[in-house]
Structure 1
Amino acid sequence: MTTVDDTLDPTDSTEYWDGRYAENDRFWSGNPNVVLVREAAGLTPGRALDLGCGEGADAVWLAGRGWTVTATDISRVALDRAAQHAAEAGVADRIDWQRHELGKTFPEGEFDLVSSQFLHSPTELPREEILRRAASAVAPGGLLLIEGHSGWPSWQPNPHPEVHLPSPQEVVESLRLEEGAWEVLICAEHDRKQLTPEGVEATRTDSTVLIRRR
């Protein structure tokens, strides 16, 4: 179970996330996100951008299926761990690891798939602005996949009242997509099983938005 160091300063995003990752040898499960696997498994590999890649499970999975991946995170600790994961998986040559604080800098280029999986943070994060930049990075015919939380888990009711977890419809609206230039393929909520800190299975509501640039 991941513990939280309450002494970390949430006003310094880089320090906060480096500290969180440094607390444990592994922060996440090491497995790719289920929705990414479901939606990308049948795609023809091309260029992919993984926003907030963490320890690199999604990027490694994509690279293993033939994608050329640009993967970015704010934490150098996470990126170093991700690079090691890629090397062990034999796909290091297919992934470009870049450190970005996405509200300030953003990877260059156009991509056939841009993936944002649970891009949430207790630190300052201009999520809507970042996702609009993500949409602008999608190549013609390419896809933007956004997975996020739509509500707080039942065992943690609204612990951060200042943080709004948007519905999928709100996510689409916030992208300010050019009319006629995009096709919305998925805009829906779904329930996901998750263990509470005490190890009890519970349900959490997430949202999926998948759009294609025409």
Structure 2
Amino acid sequence: MTTDSTPSDAELWDERYRESRRIWSGNPNTALVREVEGLTPGRALDLGCGEGADAVWLARWGWQVTATDISRVALDRAAEHAAEAGVAERIDWQFHDLGVSFPKGEYDLVSASFLHSMGDLPREEILRRAASAVAPGGVLLIVGHAGFPAWEHDHAHMELPTTDEVLASLELPPGQWDVLVSEEHERVQNDPDGNPTTRTDNALKVRRR
């Protein structure tokens, strides 16, 4: 008898997070902050929450957050971050392989920031499910990379759609949604040697009528 020794996506991400005590900066994504600051806090869903910076920021601003990730290592770190920030009671951490399972309920904000994966991620299908989880009057915010820096060789094969391509893939019913933001933006990120470099990302923000 033979067994498939190929690691699952969850195992790949757990291994990635174990490489360092902290993978990300611990700060919320700048696009999320910019696009959410003016919204009235309600129920939020954070897809691919990683170590929890976005979820913690949302909770601090009064949102009741459901935050999901495929890595239990990341979720454990995120829960520690929330406890340290004093907002643990405002965040429900959930393990999901979003290609297999999805959080229940409707949300006033659904956020998917950099939902790119090293594995086989059905991103378009997941984002359509994200749109269906937006409550009437609620907002879907999708932030992605428009390109990868030279040092990230492992991602060279990854498809990086434009906001127009993301919008088309959502297959939103005509007349039921408004496009609020669809644009590229630049941000500064340090390279592995600590040198600041400019990266280009994009953001799509739509509201259900």
> Per the shorter chain, which TM-score range?
over 0.9
- 1:195 CA displacement: 2.0
Q: Which amino acid aligns with 2:51?
A: E
Aligned with 1:173: secondary structure?
helix
Sequence identity, in percent? 65
Q: For structure 1, which runs of at least 5 residues remain unmatched after alignment?
A: 1-8
- 1:85 CA displacement: 0.9
- Counterpart position of 1:191: 186
- Counterpart position of 1:138: 134
Q: Which amino acid aligns with 1:188?
A: E
With over 3 angstroms needed to count, the CA separation of the structure-2 counterparts of 1:178 and 1:122, relative to structure 1, is: same
- 1:157 CA displacement: 8.0
Tell me if structure 2 keeps the 8 A contact 1:11–1:123. Answer: no
Tell me if structure 1 keeps the 8 A contact 2:79–2:93. Answer: yes
Deviations 1:62-101 (A, max 9, x none): 1111111000000111111111111111111111100000
TM-score calculated relative to the size of structure 1 = 0.91
Tell me if structure 1 keeps the 8 A contact 2:181–2:206. Answer: yes
Aligned with 1:19: secondary structure?
helix
Runs of 4+ in 1 over 6 A off after TM superposition: none
Query: Which one of the candidate residues 40, 63, 75 is aligned to 2:59?
Result: 63
CA distance in 2, matches of 1:157, 1:24: 17
CA distance in 2, matches of 1:10, 1:159: 17
- Counterpart position of 1:106: 102
Deviations 1:147-185 (A, max 9, x none): 0001122x2487545321001111111101100000001
Tell me if structure 1 keeps the 8 A contact 2:148–2:155. Answer: no
- Counterpart position of 2:83: 87
- Counterpart position of 1:176: 171
Q: Which moved more, 1:104-113 or 1:76-85?
A: 76-85
TM-score calculated relative to the size of structure 2 = 0.93
- Counterpart position of 1:147: 143
Asked if 1:209 corresponds to 2:196, the answer is no
Aligned residues: 205
